[in-house]
Structure 1
Amino acid sequence: MAMENDGATQINEQTMCLCGRIAAIRTAWTDNNLGRRFLGCSYYGHPDACDYFKWVDSPLFNPCYKSVIDGLLQNANRKAILEKKWQRSVLYHWLVLGMLVLVVLVQYGLW
């Protein structure tokens, strides 16, 4: 059985929640606990989930950690936005090119 020790809590792959299922390791994304990991019911969000909750990591005391994680999240969001813009731009250019080809074909009576 694999063991993991993060300083706050010792857990293993078979940690069980209150309803008898294997607990899932999740990451908190709230402002107060940004990036902090915890164990919770693997059915979280479903009606039959239990209320099992246990922190795995110690709280991040250094405010620098929070700013680094915030910066990484902002960069990831910025990258996703740029990718969507790029995809729209490519689609737009293909549509314009297709319309130009269609106009030329119609103009020369090939369509």
Structure 2
Amino acid sequence: MLSSSRPHLTLEQHARDGAWVVVVRGEVDAETIFPLHRATRAAAAAVPTLVLDLGAVTFADSSALNLLITLHHTTTLRVAAPQPQLLHLLSVTGADQILNIYPTTDHACAPTAR
């Protein structure tokens, strides 16, 4: 019997300062994205501002990028604490020019955040 050593994707969600925060941990790819997709789409339909805390994301591929772009078009999305690999993906695709990216969740939730 084969077992997978792949990290699982886990989510924590909570309200904070008028926004809905989704804390994402693990790898975000085509195999793991469904729970994140479901949670963020529901949040985007229910609240005006969605903060994605990506500080504990260890890997993200084009499916994660696609979700971020889709959310950007459907809600006020704030991306918090992306790690270097994800920042690189956002940079080489130009997504960093359209997404609102913050160094921390505190910054993303601040009343002065754009």
TM-score with structure 2 setting the length: 0.20
Higher relative contact order (CA 8 A, sep 6+): 2
Structure 1 or 2: more strand by fraction: 2
Structure (1 or 2) with the larger CA radius of gyration: 1
